[in-house]
Amino acid sequence: MTRLHIDWTACDGRGLCAELLPELLAEDDWGYPMARDGSPSPTVPPALEPNAQRAVDRCPALALHLTREAERPSAPTR
């Protein structure tokens, strides 16, 4: 599963990511990105991964990262 991590110490709210990834990100009133699903690190569906990568590459503040986590099986039950 791929997630889009926003580094808030780096983000400068230039607005490129919300343009490149409008499916996942919207701009708040001050131009900072806001995940549409309200989560701090939105999940990136496979179909949107190329666009997410583009947003990561273009971010002028290098504030975006894609993190890939292995799909974990559900917690074992006792």
Partner 1 sequence: MTDALWYFARGSGVVALVLLTVVVALGIGARSGRTAFGLPRFAVSLLHRNAALLAVVFLVLHVVSLLFDPYAQLRLFDVVLPFVGNYRPVWQGLGTLGFDLMVAIVVTSLLRHRIGARAWRAVHWLAYLCWPVALLHGLGTGSDNGTAWLWTVSMICVAVVLAAVAWRLTPNFTRFPHRAERKVAPRLRPLEEVR
- List residues near partner 1 by CB under 8 A: 7, 9-10, 12-16, 19-20, 30-31, 54, 57-58, 60-62
Could you give the CA distance from residue 7 to residue 11 in angstroms, rounded to a whole number? Answer: 6
Which CB sits closer to partner 1, 2 or 13?
13
| Minimum separation from the CB atom of position 20 to partner 1 (A) | 5
Q: Tally the residues of the chain.
A: 78
Which tokens hold the place of 9? Answer: 């110490």
User: What 3-state class would DSSP assign to 33?
Assistant: strand
Which CB sits closer to partner 1, 36 or 54?
54
